[in-house]
């Protein structure tokens, strides 16, 4: 039950960021970094002033949202909501179609 609730929270956070910041739609790294920035602020860590080793400590102790979870949630949201897709998705689809034709 806890896992389902946590996944729902991650889904809500990712969706809100994709809607508010379209540039995050095409970059998992930027999306993950943004989620982690907010995770750190929630813990009370200002990522602009704290040393990187504090990030590593929190990451190793699983205090930050799992990167793979963020990626999978983003992928599912974009699959279900085409309006949340970025511009890279369209280019990938076209490229994939060309590869399929060549094969």
d(CA 12, CA 97): 32
In SS3 terms, the chain reads as CHHHHHHHHHHHHHHHHHHHCHHHHHCHHHHHHHHHHHHHHHHCCCCCCCCHHHHHHHHHCCCCCCHHHHHHHHHHHHHHCHHHCCHHHHHHHHHHHHHHHHC
Which tens digit of pLDDT belongs to each residue from 3-62?
677 778 999 999 999 999 999 999 999 999 999 999 999 988 888 888 888 888 999 999
Q: What is the pLDDT at residue 60?
A: 92
**Local confidence band at 87 (pLDDT 50, 70, 90 cut-offs):** confident
Q: What is the pLDDT at residue 31?
A: 95
The pLDDT of residue 99 is above 90 = no
* Mean pLDDT for the stretch of residues 64-90: 90
The pLDDT of residue 100 is above 80 = no
Measure CA 74 to chain center. 6
Torsion angles phi and psi, residue 40, rounded to 5: -65, -40
Q: What is the pLDDT at residue 10?
A: 92
d(CA 50, CA 88): 33
Neighbours of 86 (CB within 10 A): 17
Q: What is the pLDDT at residue 95?
A: 73
């Amino acid at each position: 039950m806890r896992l389902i609730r946590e996944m729902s929270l991650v889904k809500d956070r990712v969706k809100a960021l994709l809607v508010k910041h379209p540039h995050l739609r095409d970059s998992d790294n930027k999306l993950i970094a943004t989620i982690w920035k907010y995770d750190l602020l929630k813990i009370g860590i200002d990522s602009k002033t704290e040393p990187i080793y504090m990030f590593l400590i929190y990451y190793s102790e699983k205090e930050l949202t799992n990167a793979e979870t963020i990626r999978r949630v983003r992928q599912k949201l974009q699959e279900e909501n085409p309006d949340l897709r970025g511009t890279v998705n369209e280019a990938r689809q076209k490229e994939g179609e060309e590869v399929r034709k060549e094969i």
